[in-house]
Structure 1
Amino acid sequence: MRNIKYIISCILFAILSFACEDYLDKQPDDQKTEEEVFTRYTEVNKLVTDLYSRSKVANRPLAWFYHFSSAAITDEAEGTTVEGNITNRFNTGDWSTMSLAGSNGQYWWDIYAFIRRANVILEGVAKYNSPDNPLEPGSLEKRIGEVYFLRGYLHYLLLRSYGEIPYLDHSIDPNSSMDFTKESVHSIVEKIVADAEEGYKRVPGAWGGEHFGRVDKGACLGLIAIARWTAATPLWNGAKEAGYTGERVFENEYTYDQSRWASARDAAKAVLECQNDGKLRYKLYDTHSETDFNDDAGENKNESTVYARLWDMYYDMTAFQNEAVWFVTKDKYEGWYGDMYPPSRGGSARQQPVQEQVDEYEYISPDGYGYPVYSAKAKADGYDDGNPYKSVKRDPRFYRDIIYHGAPFRDGNNNPATVDVATGSDKINASNATKTGYYHRKYFRDSWNRSGSVSISAPPIWRLPDFVYIYCEAVNEISGPNEEIYQKVNAVRARSFMAPMPPATKTDKNLMREYIKRERRVEFYYENKRAWDCRLYVEPSNEAELIKEQAWRSAGSTNDERSQKYWATGLRSYPKSQRMINGMRPVEDPNGKIVINGVKYRMERYCVEERVFDVPRHYLFPIMETEIQRSPTLVQNPGWN
């Protein structure tokens, strides 16, 4: 099914705007009292629905900064200067305890306000013994379970950005003194797990009809697994050994403990084995065959480069029903297409992929396995950096996610065309054009051409591959690779028609780790993951990445020369230090293999910009000075004093 209108009817509840008289904030005297609200099921239900809506804005995957995703503050993408130049302010170090750009409900002050609402609901229901829904008995208990989940989820979002935080399980009078103290991340995780378990007891195994999209048991298990995995990653589990130099309040609790990986393994396994009505709750989306390249209009205008399955997995109702563990609806509309399209299609290229991301898409070797283009094997297999997109067949996800020089795409009249970043409106650094040599493609409905409406509910917050990777990573960290995790990772790859990992990964722990991390990066491109993952793995302080960064700086006298010679002499990935991004530009060459309008080109690497990522400061977001003033017992995050 390709009709995106299912989102409107099936999960409308999550985005409806209720005219709810809300006593949670100070209201005029003619508004409903606390007692009047909590002695009526309909009013309690409105409050819960309002909490859903607020939880949505706290973590919008496509618009974490309201106008921008988080991709452009990491080595996934570059952002333009429109709408206050939000992401570039982060990349130049222009954020502080006095100012954070792009406020969208995702920062400290808003999320704690949402948590307060959750606590008031739980306390009000208990205090007034709120009645159940007479038309649908059992509804109140489900609403209570949903609120427990949402409270834990909101604390997880705070942990993700700020690390050590106060965990509030009771309402706070906003007019009283606020003597909050931080807790260890591991203590916070246990409380998130407890809230998720309370939710699990009360919510159903799955929802159908108009309720589809509410919290179910799988979402609760998902929250537990994500929290456990976060606690097992190096930022909170072996930070000093990984290169972290900050001193957090509970720094002594963040030494390495393998049991945290065991907890993450078991929690992820619970998601993978979650059942509803005696059947597995989740399975990978596998509609469409390997011969189907039709787009949403039923046409193959992409030269058989993008599989129908890879487009539809973000729109088909079947995909959401079977694979989405937790998601919010209607993240963006047709205006997002206009923001992201290349200029030749009337767009403004708001965020553009960078070379660091492109290099992570593997190629399919003649031996039938997938390898990175920066591997020693790549050149022998025919990889040509002057013709990087067609000299070898890249991971099919690349052709869905990235628009490159020579890519088949549609023009402003919706006819087949070839993207040209050397000339015309799409030329690198032209008005509203790319700075990196690439344009974003993921989530596009290729036939849409700035007429009619489009509703985008992608991507889910968590989907099944999240938990496949967590489980496989945890097993690998505990006991090394085995056949089971080899097959599980390959199943996700096969869903995208990608070749399996080489057999060597079954016996090499470090190689398996490398492949799993690369899988996360490719599978979750532009899904609001990378900005957090690079921090969780302490990559900007990692010794191996620092060695690569130094090698890059020593490779030449200009940044462009460094980026070219670093690659040519080493065939290795660019450093994941978050202190630079690179691009690829076409150069006319009579021997070039890329031909557009009779002109031959080869591709050439170049440095787009250097960025600021100060360690340990930029691993965690700062607590605003105003919050410290309100609660002097709070300790600022490392590096922000």
Structure 2
Amino acid sequence: MKRYIQILTAVMLVITTACQDLDREFVTSIGKNEIEQSFTNVQAMLTSIYADLPDGTVYIGGAAMMASASDESEFTTENNAVQAFNSGSWNAINNPDPVWGTYYRGIRKVNQFLLSTGDINLDPWKLDPSPSAQAVYKTNLAAINRWKYEARFLRAFFYFELVKRYGGVPLINNVFTLEDDYTKVSRNSLDECIRFIASECDSAASQLPLNGSTAPYVAGTDLGRVTKVAALALKSRVLLYAASDLFNTPGWAGGYSKPELIALPAGDRKARWKAAADAAKAVIDADALPNLGNYKSLFNTFNNNEIIFTRRNGASNQFEKNNSPIGFNLGLSGNTPSQDLVDAYEVKVDAATAVKFNWSDPAMAANPYANRDPRLGMSIVTNNSTFGTPQRKVQLWTGGLDARPIVNASRTGYYLRKYQIESLNLLNGNTGVHSWIIIRYPEIYLNYAEALNESEPGNAEIKKYVDMVRARTGVAMPPLPAGLSQTEMRERIRNERRVEFAFEDHRFWDVRRWMIAENVLAQPLRGVTVNRVNDSTFTYKAVKVEDRVFTSRMYLYPIPQGEISISNALIQNPMW
């Protein structure tokens, strides 16, 4: 008899407030047959798969966000593992983002779960002729069918998280046992992986309820579960990456002998962009959200119709401790925004016009945070702005309560506001529920605009959907100018993604898929020095914080050396 490794100890995060108990803790050592025959135990297996979704708020070393491995941010503590990305000191043995095993564990759990759903014993209800028992039977049967497609979505999500890091990876859709030969596991081509993920999204979308409010058996209580819209949205993201430069330009790899592992076959790029545009439009057409709500409050909630898919965690205050200014009680500085990011927020001239920030403009340099895109103040703590509980003005000027030369004060002259629950009093032990938003509607709008700009430049829909993001409640940035060229529109879309999704784990990947990382991430990271003239007057100067390293091999992660040692069929990525 084959031996199975049963790892079903899921100390579960809170994904949702639903009655479906996604926040249930499930720890078991009972036998395989008992697990598979129990409706509630198999349900708990699905819950444990949701637990493998990433939490970007405390991603590396329990504190650093991926933003601090890009030009968005600097992590204050220099011995955090995230700094290896910035110094170029990471490799196939030491990777600060070691997710290969994490996601393959999740994939294996899905494969085992899909087998288990066929063995659930529903006879106690099926064989009972009473109307109440028959109703339970039908409800449970529908639930099992839905669970299968939720699990297939989650597997597709895990595969895409691997693909965007490594290129083509092994597609393993059976349950390995101790008797299987791991030495023959090999990588599938990138094309096979993309096609598989997109197909799984299609299958899930065809069977899942549209959204949480339309679920057939627990209507209104499915917040956090996979839906049709989530499946379509993941496909939109996948096909956007598939159309982008990185997966269509193998020349960066310097004559790599297995280009099919890192690039798609040569073909019609416009057709790929068109497919990406169509995938984004499918989301919009399925469940259109014409108006976007308040930006600031979005990141302190899990219950917002802008959110398509999220991971909701239990109540805590660790994120606030990690990222609050050093002068606040228990604040550790953490992920501190860069001047490079701050400069990306436009200056609002009037209701119809916005311009780039320019340090060479004396008025802008003297008052650099005046009339800026409101998303700046909603995402980033700047000098002399108010913050926290008890509330006070943040002193980022040299010698201030939150600034150098205090040990572990921000090195960039900024602190992170986004995702912080500022009402928490950390000394009193206040906690709040945090959620990590994985997909939200503005991504779909900007995916659509980007793909359409590459496939049908000049289409009026491009400007329309970018402007919808800019016009959201509380932001109200002027619309883009009319008549932008394809190149100009491309740059505007890229900048819009940068400011809209700051600290949401997009920038690290966007600069790679656009193949601009060698120009962007190899530049010195900048911050600002603030000097105080009096209580209301300060001077500002952009300064270098640190040199950064990026070489072409870093477009993809190296396959972990331990995996290559196990399987002699695995091929390493270029130049690692």
TM-score (norm: length of structure 1): 0.78
Q: Specify the alignment match of 2:271 in structure 1.
A: 259
Q: What is the alpha-carbon distance in structure 1 between the residues aligned to residue 22 and residue 490 of structure 2?
A: 37
Q: Specify the alignment match of 2:133 in structure 1.
A: none
Q: What is the alpha-carbon distance in structure 2 between the residues aligned to residue 420 and residue 95 of structure 1?
A: 32
Q: Specify the alignment match of 2:478 in structure 1.
A: 500
Identity over aligned residues, as a percent? 27
Q: Specify the alignment match of 2:172 in structure 1.
A: 168
* Paired residue type of 1:206: N
Q: What is the alpha-carbon distance in structure 2 between the residues aligned to residue 449 and residue 628 of structure 1?
A: 48
Q: Specify the alignment match of 1:571 in structure 2.
A: none
Contact 2:302/2:435, CA 8 A, preserved across alignment: no
How far off its partner does 1:398 sit?
0.4
Q: Specify the alignment match of 2:149 in structure 1.
A: 145
Contact 2:351/2:478, CA 8 A, preserved across alignment: no
Q: What is the alpha-carbon distance in structure 1 between the residues aligned to residue 351 and residue 38 of structure 2?
A: 66
Distance 1:625 1:317, change over 3 A: closer
Contact 2:295/2:475, CA 8 A, preserved across alignment: no
How far off its partner does 1:88 sit?
1.1
**SS, match of residue 118 in structure 1:** helix
Structure 2's unaligned 5+ residue stretches are: 1-13, 127-135, 213-218
Q: What is the alpha-carbon distance in structure 1 between the residues aligned to residue 245 and residue 332 of structure 2?
A: 38
Contact 1:406/1:596, CA 8 A, preserved across alignment: no
Q: What is the alpha-carbon distance in structure 1 between the residues aligned to residue 100 and residue 545 of structure 2?
A: 32
How far off its partner does 1:577 sit?
3.3
How far off its partner does 1:483 sit?
2.6
Q: Does 1:623 align with 2:567?
A: no
Contact 1:89/1:95, CA 8 A, preserved across alignment: yes
Q: What is the alpha-carbon distance in structure 2 between the residues aligned to residue 538 and residue 246 of structure 1?
A: 17
Q: Does 1:577 align with 2:521?
A: yes
Distance 1:273 1:214, change over 3 A: same
Q: Specify the alignment match of 1:357 in structure 2.
A: 341
Structure 2 counterpart of 1:467, from 440, 444, 447: 444
Contact 1:62/1:331, CA 8 A, preserved across alignment: no
Q: What is the alpha-carbon distance in structure 2 between the residues aligned to residue 244 and residue 363 of structure 1?
A: 39
How far off its partner does 1:186 sit?
2.3
Contact 1:261/1:474, CA 8 A, preserved across alignment: yes
Distance 1:110 1:596, change over 3 A: same
Q: Specify the alignment match of 2:259 in structure 1.
A: 249
Structure 2 counterparts to residues 365-514 of structure 1, below 5 A:
365-366=349-350, 368-374=352-358, 379=361, 383-390=363-370, 393-410=371-388, 414-450=390-426, 451-495=428-472, 496-504=474-482, 506-514=483-491
Q: Specify the alignment match of 1:340 in structure 2.
A: 323
Q: Specify the alignment match of 1:125 in structure 2.
A: 117
Structure 2 counterpart of 1:218, from 203, 219, 229: 229
Structure 2 counterpart of 1:313, from 277, 294, 298: 298
Q: How many residues align?
A: 536
**Per-residue CA shift, 1:101-151, capped at 9, x if unaligned?**
365xxx11121121111111213334x376496372411101111111111
Distance 1:155 1:415, change over 3 A: closer
How far off its partner does 1:50 sit?
1.1
Q: What is the alpha-carbon distance in structure 1 between the residues aligned to residue 144 and residue 28 of structure 2?
A: 18
Contact 1:205/1:217, CA 8 A, preserved across alignment: yes
**Per-residue CA shift, 1:455-496, capped at 9, x if unaligned?**
343341010001100101111111213332212111111114
Q: What is the alpha-carbon distance in structure 2 between the residues aligned to residue 448 and residue 540 of structure 1?
A: 37
4+ residue stretches of structure 1 with deviation over 6 A? none
Contact 2:15/2:311, CA 8 A, preserved across alignment: no
Distance 1:516 1:130, change over 3 A: farther
**SS, match of residue 51 in structure 2:** helix
RMSD: 2.5
Distance 1:163 1:518, change over 3 A: same
Q: Specify the alignment match of 1:612 in structure 2.
A: 549
Q: What is the alpha-carbon distance in structure 2 between the residues aligned to residue 344 and residue 447 of structure 1?
A: 16
Contact 1:200/1:221, CA 8 A, preserved across alignment: yes
Q: Specify the alignment match of 1:110 in structure 2.
A: 102
**Per-residue CA shift, 1:409-447, capped at 9, x if unaligned?**
35xx61442533322331234212100111111122333
Contact 2:450/2:493, CA 8 A, preserved across alignment: yes
How far off its partner does 1:401 sit?
1.1
How far off its partner does 1:252 sit?
6.5
Q: Specify the alignment match of 2:40 in structure 1.
A: 42
**SS, match of residue 559 in structure 2:** coil
How far off its partner does 1:597 sit?
2.4
Contact 1:353/1:402, CA 8 A, preserved across alignment: yes
**Per-residue CA shift, 1:584-614, capped at 9, x if unaligned?**
10245xxxxxx5426x431111111101212
Q: Does 1:231 align with 2:242?
A: yes
Contact 1:420/1:596, CA 8 A, preserved across alignment: no
Bigger Cα displacement from structure 2, 8-17 vs 178-187: 8-17
Structure 2 counterparts to residues 73-112 of structure 1, below 5 A:
73-81=69-77, 84-101=79-96, 103=98, 107-112=99-104
Distance 1:362 1:433, change over 3 A: same
* Paired residue type of 2:507: R
* Paired residue type of 2:199: A
* Paired residue type of 1:71: A
How far off its partner does 1:67 sit?
2.5
Q: What is the alpha-carbon distance in structure 2 between the residues aligned to residue 365 and residue 624 of structure 1?
A: 50
**SS, match of residue 96 in structure 1:** coil
Contact 1:405/1:420, CA 8 A, preserved across alignment: yes
Contact 1:361/1:395, CA 8 A, preserved across alignment: yes
Distance 1:115 1:415, change over 3 A: closer
How far off its partner does 1:400 sit?
1.0
**Per-residue CA shift, 1:38-96, capped at 9, x if unaligned?**
22222221111111112x2xx212122233110111101001227x5211122112222
Q: What is the alpha-carbon distance in structure 2 between the residues aligned to residue 110 and residue 524 of structure 1?
A: 25
Q: Specify the alignment match of 2:193 in structure 1.
A: 188
Q: Specify the alignment match of 1:32 in structure 2.
A: 31
TM-score (norm: length of structure 2): 0.87
Q: Does 1:16 align with 2:15?
A: no
* Paired residue type of 1:585: T
**SS, match of residue 408 in structure 2:** coil
Contact 1:228/1:267, CA 8 A, preserved across alignment: yes
**Per-residue CA shift, 1:496-553, capped at 9, x if unaligned?**
423224424x441111111110010100001111111111111134xxx4xxxxxxxx
Distance 1:409 1:523, change over 3 A: same
Contact 2:63/2:334, CA 8 A, preserved across alignment: no
* Paired residue type of 2:27: A
**Per-residue CA shift, 1:335-369, capped at 9, x if unaligned?**
21011111221211011001111111111124722
Contact 1:63/1:69, CA 8 A, preserved across alignment: yes
Q: What is the alpha-carbon distance in structure 1 between the residues aligned to residue 324 and residue 111 of structure 2?
A: 42
Q: What is the alpha-carbon distance in structure 1 between the residues aligned to residue 363 and residue 441 of structure 2?
A: 32
Q: Specify the alignment match of 1:519 in structure 2.
A: 496
Distance 1:361 1:518, change over 3 A: same
Contact 1:239/1:255, CA 8 A, preserved across alignment: no
How far off its partner does 1:188 sit?
0.7
Contact 1:360/1:372, CA 8 A, preserved across alignment: yes
Distance 1:150 1:437, change over 3 A: same
* Paired residue type of 1:145: Y
